[in-house]
Amino acid sequence: MLRTKTEKEVVHALGRGDACSVRRDPNTLRRWAAAVEHDAHNALDGIWSLAVDDSYVLTVRRDGLREQVLLDDMVDEDSWPPDAWAPKHRKITLDLEAAEAVADELLEVLRLRDVSWPSCSQHDQPVSHCSAEWICSGSPVHQVALFGALQPPNTA
């Protein structure tokens, strides 16, 4: 983990900054937006769509609802443990933090619009998320589904 900075400089020198720098990759955000869109579709009424454009604008749509959120274009490295940026974890951390960013914003849009996200059927706890998983904080804390695999509430 002490080598992170050096690695970044090397990566820039090689001209592969996009793959490894701390700038978010719109394609990674789009991949997670598609997964979370699938989950919104399964978990909520109506036809949902989530899209991320190259300017980092996330657009959430359902029928009359259209909400646009400007995502940060840079990764907030400090919100992850330093070890997450060690060379062997860096790629997965970048992937998971993109997943978190998309899910955070969707849940925020739903909260502002008073749309409730499903609860865990076992514990009657609202389903939250951690990294790229939907989790229930009931006792015990457990995974409900990976992003992209959330089932409709009545079948969960």
The only residue of 136, 147, 150, 156 in contact with Zn ion, by rule CB under 5 A: 136
Query: 65-104 mask for Zn ion (x: CB under 5 A)?
Result: ----------------------------------------
Select from 27-35, 51-59, 100-108, 133-141 the region that touches Zn ion (CB under 5 A). 133-141
Query: 101-130 mask for Zn ion (x: CB under 5 A)?
Result: -------------------x-xx-------
| 122 closest CA partner among 134, 137, 103 | 137
Q: Report the distance separating Cα 4 and Cα 82, nearest Å.
A: 9
- Residue 33: what residue type? A
**Least distance in Å: CB of 156 to Zn ion?**
9
β-strand pairing of 142-146 with 133-136: antiparallel
Q: Report the distance separating Cα 125 and Cα 75, nearest Å.
A: 30
**Least distance in Å: CB of 46 to Zn ion?**
25
Contacts 24+ apart (CB under 8 A), 84-90: 85/1, 85/4, 86/1, 86/3, 86/4, 87/3, 87/4, 87/7, 90/4, 90/7, 90/20
**Least distance in Å: CB of 123 to Zn ion?**
3
**Least distance in Å: CB of 109 to Zn ion?**
24
Say whether residue 61 binds Zn ion (CB under 5 A): no
Say whether residue 151 binds Zn ion (CB under 5 A): no
Please say which residue, 75 or 136, places its beta carbon nearer to Zn ion: 136
Say whether residue 150 binds Zn ion (CB under 5 A): no
φ and ψ at 56, to 5 degrees?
Answer: 70, 25
Can you give the binding site for Zn ion, defined by CB under 5 A?
120, 122-123, 136, 138
